[in-house]
A and B are shown apart, each in its own frame.
Chain A
Amino acid sequence: MRREIPLILTGIVGITFFVQFFVPHSPMRELSETFSDWYSIISAFAIWLGGLNLMKISFEKVYKKDKDWFFAVTTIVSFFLILIVGLFFSGGRQYLEQGSGYDWLYRNIYSPLSATMFALLAFFVASASYRAFRARNAQATVLLLAAFIVMAGRTPFGDWITVFLPEGWRLSNLSNVIMNYFNVAGQRAIMIGIALGIVSTSLRIILGIERSHLGGE
């Protein structure tokens, strides 16, 4: 019950998807579409487990007067704030519409937080580049060189420092060559490897050979 049925379910559902790819006949497509919908429904149930877990941890911090207990309070307050506003005070299904409370929270709190976090990448890219500059070996040097050529080649700076070369043979052209050929070849090798890895892992899962994701007895 605990282990066999999940293994059988995994196998049946996995094989259904495999078969529907080659067999257009009904009901294969309908079944696979239904299974895909199931994921969204199950995850809509499951997300409450996560929310509850977050609240449990936060409440524990407050209860135990953890060092940062105050920040656990802000997590609790903001979680319930958007939850209550989104579920009850944002016009139901029209919760995304402009002017709803949910939308206000999204635009003025969630969105700037998210955008700023994303923007921090500019600094992290800089520090990662700096680390790459201290190229430790031949491979890292090649990586750095390719990065430099492509980065410079995409700005006027690249052509400016290679102005002594004839037009058409400058850094922007070299950058194109790297992007369109060397880069594509490498990408392809990676993609093919990924395909093989996925086929192999999927097969092991469908056949129940790889079963660690299901836990034990």
Chain B
Amino acid sequence: MSSEFGIWLAAFFTIGIASFLYKDNPLYKFCESVFVGISAGYWAVALFWENLITKMFDGLGISYSLGLWPEKGALQDIFSGVWNWNILHVLAAILGIMMLMRLFPKIGWIARWPLSVIVGSTAGLWMITYFQSNFLSQLQKTVIPLFDIGRINELSEIGAVMAEQGRSIPLDNYFAAYLGNLVLIFGTLAGLVYFYFSKEHKGIFGRTAKVGIYFLMITFGASFGYTVMSRMSLLIGRLYFLFSTWLGFVN
């Protein structure tokens, strides 16, 4: 059994959170309230050092001027006649302060300015990145031949090798060669038809959409099944901590 105070503390919180599975109880309430408080503080501290100090104060050169950091920043560059884009962090600081104006109801509306900058950049950035990664590159992966001729030709070679070992060609190989591309192409297009909003889902269109929703259900099922095992390993990790690190039953 561990003699370290920290380990006991960790074990206490582990059991406390897990007790939620039984029912809501004071122990869980305690752990939950500690969790909320400590994690809120945790991120406040992290953002303070990583974003406020490193990005803003260091980037601008304020830390340097105060003798707290050895590297020069935007202010020093600008004064020596070199343009430095980080100088625009001054505007970010102003926007950040506008954000804090929320604390004063009279002028709180000014917080919409920083908010709109963030929303605008998110909209612009996501529009192009998702168009590329989710539309264009998926289109690229969908425009493939209906049958994988290369794999079909390979089948006989694999078959010969497998026959020597007294085995038959696996299902995977047959499927990949003859049906794989067909399923990929048709499944993608049918799924897309399901998402079609502005046309009533009836007739052939409706039936295709129906097939599409079945494809989506298989997808959901598959990734559900795929994730289950990895979730089990998390549980085993926690049990290991309790029984080995804390209680010392297992080595």
Task: Please give the residue numbers on chain A whose beta carbons come within 8 Å of chain B beta carbons, in ascending order.
Answer: 2-3, 5-7, 9-18, 21, 27, 30, 32-52, 54, 58, 68, 71-72, 74-83, 86-87, 92-93, 95, 102, 104-123, 125, 129, 132, 139-140, 142-152, 154-155, 166-169, 173-174, 176-196, 198-199, 201-203, 205-206, 213-215
Contact = CB atoms under 8 A, between A and B. Distances in A.
B89 interface: yes
Majority secondary structure, A binding face: helix
B114 A42 contact: yes
Contact of B234 (A80, A107, A119, A169): A119
Contacts of A27: 85
Contacts of B219: 146, 182-183, 185-187, 190
Given A147-B221, A181-B180, A82 B45 contact: yes
Contact of B89 (A18, A37, A82, A147): A37
B147 interface: no
Contacts of A180: 172, 176, 180
B243 interface: no
Interface of B: 6-7, 9-11, 13-14, 17-18, 20-21, 29-56, 59, 85-86, 88-89, 91-93, 95-97, 99-100, 102-103, 109, 112-128, 130-131, 133-135, 138-139, 141-142, 167-172, 175-176, 179-180, 183-192, 194-195, 212-229, 231-232, 234-235, 237-238, 241
A115 B31 CA distance: 13
A81 B41 contact: yes
Given A86-B42, A146-B218, A186 B191 contact: yes
Contact of B183 (A105, A148, A166, A181): A181
A10 B35 CA distance: 36
A71 B36 CA distance: 11
Contacts of A191: 134, 138
Most A C-beta atoms less than 10 A away, residue of B36, B49, B225? B225
B223 A183 contact: yes
A83 B56 CA distance: 20
A119 B172 contact: no
Given A37-B92, A71-B29, A173-B171, A192 B188 contact: yes
B96 A9 contact: no
B77 to A, nearest CB: 14
Contacts of B37: 54, 58, 74-79, 81-82
28 contacts: A9-B120, A13-B124, A16-B124, A18-B124, A44-B47, A44-B56, A47-B44, A49-B100, A54-B37, A58-B37, A83-B44, A86-B42, A86-B46, A86-B48, A95-B45, A105-B38, A110-B38, A116-B13, A143-B217, A147-B221, A168-B168, A181-B187, A186-B216, A186-B218, A191-B134, A194-B130, A202-B127, A205-B123
Contacts of B228: 125, 129, 147, 151
B195 A139 contact: no
